Amino acid sequence: METVILPSTNEQKIASLEAIIEGQSVQIAKMETLIKYYEERFKLGQRRRFGSSSEVSPNQLRFEELFNEAEDQADPALPEPTYEQITYKRKKRIGKRKDDLSGLPVERIDYELPEAERICPDCGGLMGDIGVTVRDELEIIPARVIHKEHAIHAYACADCGKNSDHTPVVRAESPTPLILGSLATPSAVAHIASQKFVNGIPLYRLERGLSYDGVDLSRQTMANWLIYCAQNYLMAVYNMLIATLLKDSVIHADETTVQVLREPGREAQSKSYEWLYRTGRCSQNPIVIYEYHETRQHEHAKNFLAGFKGFVHADGYQAYHNLPDGITVVGCWSHARRPWENLYKTLPPDKRDGSNAERGLVYCNLMFALEDEFHDLEPEERFKKRLEYSKPVSDDFFNWLDTLGASQIVVGRCYNLCAQSAQIP
């Protein structure tokens, strides 16, 4: 503990004590701020651990607290206006079962009586067809595994074989095998790939399922097939998709952690990353690209997007804000909204109304409500609507952030996240 030596005179003692008290007051204020910070972090951790993961808040539609001119001028004493009745027509909905079966091939089976059984019991005349009752059924034919033998015939000249020292031989043409010396076929590899990567079925389960059908195909063999075909056939398609993606004007980018087992020189618990790039919703060629890297280094995004010109829609990760010239980084409103939502839910219920957290959340909620309204518009019309309605809300939001003073870090981060997002068509 620090020892304080006080001066001899009373005035000096008082001044020294006041300085000590002032220093302790500053220290107490810092500690109270730190305690409050850790309390909020604890509440946020508890909510993430035990609370709902949904980001829908109870004030999702409470925009009137910011844009409440109509409510300000309202007079409850005025009588309600009368309502007129409006009628409209709508298309009759087809039954849900018909909707579910509309994309399937139809195999119709007619059940008819032979002419001898259509004799009227009263007059003896021939009865005519007066209608059909249709009953729908769903038949599923399980996948079949067929052993195909490609018998390639060879032909030789019998006369030359008897009378000459040279016998010409010709062979019938046959399809080139997918993998030389292998049982693999395009349909077999496509089935394994779709089951594993689309339906999420591990190879060991596929191995067991095939064994029930009498097929002895190991998971190692299936893995070899998938890797070979990816490297020798699909890589060309992958590169073509990347080239097509980079010609677009809008790209969405993000990265997520993955765990890769038995990587050379790395522990199983090591974090690796899948970097994801995809086209915008209005693109004529919807494309999603995954690029694997062992690290989250900035160079990965810079190298992938080299040569791209346009908008990159991303979160606040600095790798996306250090890209080559010709790229405009636009922020994500979902990421801008999340801190307000987290702060709002960590506040006690009696402190939420009127708080900065609520106000920031309401601004973001209004932006999302406008986007829902503009969702089905054509890009040019949506851009005009954003300039007319969304931009004033965004400008007001950032002006309000500037008035917070002590929250300049928050202001800067929000600017990085979403200041230019209205530019995306």
Report yes or no on 377 lying in a domain. yes
Q: Which residues of the chain fall below pLDDT 50?
A: 58-74, 78, 80-89, 92, 406-425
Report yes or no on 418 lying in a domain. yes
Query: What are the Cα distances from residue 257, in Å, to 201, 260, 273, 322, 376?
Result: 21, 10, 5, 21, 33
What's the CA gap between 357 and 365, in Å, rounded? 12
What DSSP line would sit under 94-137, residue for residue?
A: PPHHHHHHTTS----------GGG-B-TTT-PBPPP--------
Q: Which of 235, 262, 296 is the last residue of a domain?
A: 235
Q: CB-hemisphere CA count at 13 Å for 287?
A: 22
Buried b (16+ CB within 10 A) or exposed e, 205-239: ebbeebeeeeeebebebbeebbeebeeeeeeeeee
Query: What does the pLDDT read at residue 88?
Result: 45
Query: What does the pLDDT read at residue 290?
Result: 94
What's the CA gap between 48 and 138, in Å, rounded? 44
Report yes or no on 215 lying in a domain. yes
Query: What does the pLDDT read at residue 3?
Result: 57
Report yes or no on 357 lying in a domain. yes
- State phi, psi for 171 to the nearest 5 degrees: -120, 150
First-last CA distance in the chain? 64
Query: What does the pLDDT read at residue 388?
Result: 93
What's the CA gap between 220 and 203, in Å, rounded? 8
CB 333 within 8 A of CB 418: yes
Query: What does the pLDDT read at residue 247?
Result: 93
What's the CA gap between 147 and 185, in Å, rounded? 11
Report yes or no on 359 lying in a domain. yes
- Longest C-alpha distance within the chain, in Å? 138
Query: What does the pLDDT read at residue 411?
Result: 42
Q: How many domains does the chain have?
A: 2
What's the CA gap between 162 and 388, in Å, rounded? 93
Query: What does the pLDDT read at residue 151?
Result: 92
Domain that holds residue 223: 185-235
Helix (H), strand (E) counts: the chain: 15, 7
Tokens 């199983």 sit at which residue?
268
Report yes or no on 250 lying in a domain. no
Report yes or no on 295 lying in a domain. no
Query: What does the pLDDT read at residue 373?
Result: 93
Query: What does the pLDDT read at residue 406?
Result: 40
Query: What does the pLDDT read at residue 39?
Result: 76
Q: Which of 235, 251, 271 is the last residue of a domain?
A: 235
Report yes or no on 349 lying in a domain. yes
